[in-house]
Amino acid sequence: MAKLISGKEVSSKVKAEVREETAELVKKGIKPGLAVVIVGNDPASRVYVNSKKKACEEVGFSSFEYALPEETTQEELLELVSKLNNDDSVDGILCQLPLPEQIDENAVINAIKPDKDVDAFHPFNVGKIMIGDFAFLPCTPAGVMELIDSTGVDISGKSCVVIGRSNIVGKPMSMLLLHRNGTVTICHSRTKNLAEICRNADILVAAVGKANFVTADMVKDGAIVIDVGMNRLENGKLCGDVDFENVEKKAGYITPVPGGVGPMTIAMLMKNTLTAAKMHNNLI
């Protein structure tokens, strides 16, 4: 039976460290600030934004929320981003995705100053991640690394399989594992012999967005299984990309859904914002 990797526990440790460092900065008159922009009334986006606001309070940051109507134009949003870029009280800018269809997401991401891009989506930051010389890491992959580290297992030399190749999770996830000397295979919808490849993985990261996609016959005995998926079943229950009930019997370590990767994403966002504040005050 697999040991459970608790995202709640690991994220609490990360936030406690951030809170401690923030208290020291506040003594020097520096208070990190995070601006979150939400356009429209997407219920899932609203939940995320509220969680981010709550996390800012927990760690002692200033939190600025900009809730714009659904019909906001791209020009109006870019104007706001420009204003936040030039606001010294704002260290990090996060624009909640998805955006309404009249707005080009890439144009907005590219407009955020790289040193305030705490999501690490800007091409400048993506390039720095590729060469291993980064200030910020994308929050979800960075959170996954913390969860793997919490097991005490050394990534170096391990066979690592990432299912999914999105710009937000799959691609950066594979780079982080590679930087830690994992031997990485990226799988996707065109991959042949997917089950066979997964069965060889010491570390398996599922980020595909399909409920219960990873079954027990795809998992090596004793593997670390990280489930990034968040899917809602017809009965309203949340589940991940991994068939938890059956894979748990075979894996060495496994993350639950909810309570696994989810809490880590927000904790790493706080860590990135703290890093940005230190950079803006020439402390790193």
45, amino acid identity: S
Catalytic residue among 91, 117, 119, 243: 119
C-alpha to C-alpha distance for 245 and 181, rounded to whole angstroms:
31
C-alpha to C-alpha distance for 40 and 110, rounded to whole angstroms:
21
Q: Please name the residue that has the structure tokens 């997401």.
A: 105
Distance from the first to the final alpha carbon of the chain: 43
139-150 vs 170-179: helix axis angle to the nearest 10? Answer: 40
C-alpha to C-alpha distance for 107 and 77, rounded to whole angstroms:
10
C-alpha to C-alpha distance for 154 and 145, rounded to whole angstroms:
11
Is residue 96 among the annotated active site residues?
A: yes
What is the sign, positive or negative, of the torsion defined by CA atoms of 266, 270, 271, 275?
A: positive
The SS3 of residue 120 is: coil
139, amino acid identity: C
C-alpha to C-alpha distance for 34 and 59, rounded to whole angstroms:
12
CA-derived radius of gyration, the chain: 19
C-alpha to C-alpha distance for 277 and 32, rounded to whole angstroms:
5
Cβ atoms of 71 and 90 closer than 8 Å: no
Catalytic residue among 15, 91, 96, 116: 96
Is residue 154 among the annotated active site residues?
A: no
Catalytic residue among 52, 171, 220, 250: 52
Cα distances from 148 to residues 17, 41, 173, in angstroms, run 18, 35, 12
Q: Which of 118, 121, 55, 134 is nearest to 85 (CA)?
A: 118
Active-site positions read: 52, 96, 119
